[in-house]
Chain A
Amino acid sequence: GAGVSQSPSNKVTEKGKDVELRCDPISGHTALYWYRQSLGQGLEFLIYFQGNSAPDKSGLPSDRFSAERTGGSVSTLTIQRTQQEDSAVYLCASSFRQGDEQYFGPGTRLTVT
């Protein structure tokens, strides 16, 4: 079966513009996570969706960041008024249920110029 997919794979944007990053999780997975990974750094948790529960937004670095998950499947991470420090690889992962192993997508490399 298909794994987690993310689009676009690369995104270059100008400072101040808004961007949308998309994640298609594995079908049937109830949990979906977004992480940010800066060059040579570990994973920074951003947000987590579990079924129909309210998302855990505790990792979002500022109110410029938001995410939604429609129909319990596809998720979109939106960054408004991008800044250069937003440049990173954004990783999405899904799991069958919370606590299970996560399956990661290939990531979206965001570059803000």
Chain B
Amino acid sequence: AQSVTQLGSHVSVSEGALVLLRCNYSSSVPPYLFWYVQYPNQGLQLLLKYTTGATLVKGINGFEAEFKKSETSFHLTKPSAHMSDAAEYFCAVSPFYSSASKIIFGSGTRLSIRP
């Protein structure tokens, strides 16, 4: 069984500050991990994903995430926040080999950027 926990339903940072959105997962098998972003009144779009290999994954818009198996975490970071980063961010997990299970999404974190 899998689950995803996003710590903090709302995160606010100043423009130019570090963005850190936390995601912890539970999976009995090696996972695929994803971050999606949802801008206001739009559907979700993939920000980045981890499948296998390099544990530091770079995505679009300067975001990156690091898979830490020992901590069961996949936190999303960006060194310098921009106003356009204001959106809802969802972490998701799926078992990479199983056709029986579906992707599980976290409850989301709303990121606000202060001028």
CB distance from A5 to the nearest CB of B (A): 11
For residue B63, CB closer than 8 A to chain A, the reply is no
Main secondary structure of the interface of A (DSSP, over half): loop
Residue contact A43 to B43, C-beta cutoff 8 Å: no
Give the shortest distance, in Å, between A97 (CB) and chain B (any CB).
Answer: 8
Q: Are A99 and B94 in contact (CB under 8 A)?
A: yes
Whether A91 lies near B96 (C-beta < 8 A) is: no
Given contacts A99-B32, A99-B95, contact A42 B105 (CB under 8 A): yes
Interface bin, chain A? 20 to 34
- Residue B103 at the chain A interface, CB threshold 8 Å: yes
Report the bound CA distance from A56 to B105 in whole Å: 16
Decide if B98 is an interface residue (CB 8 Å cutoff): yes
Name the distance in Å between A37's Cβ and chain B's nearest Cβ: 9
Q: Is A106 an interface residue (CB 8 A)?
A: yes
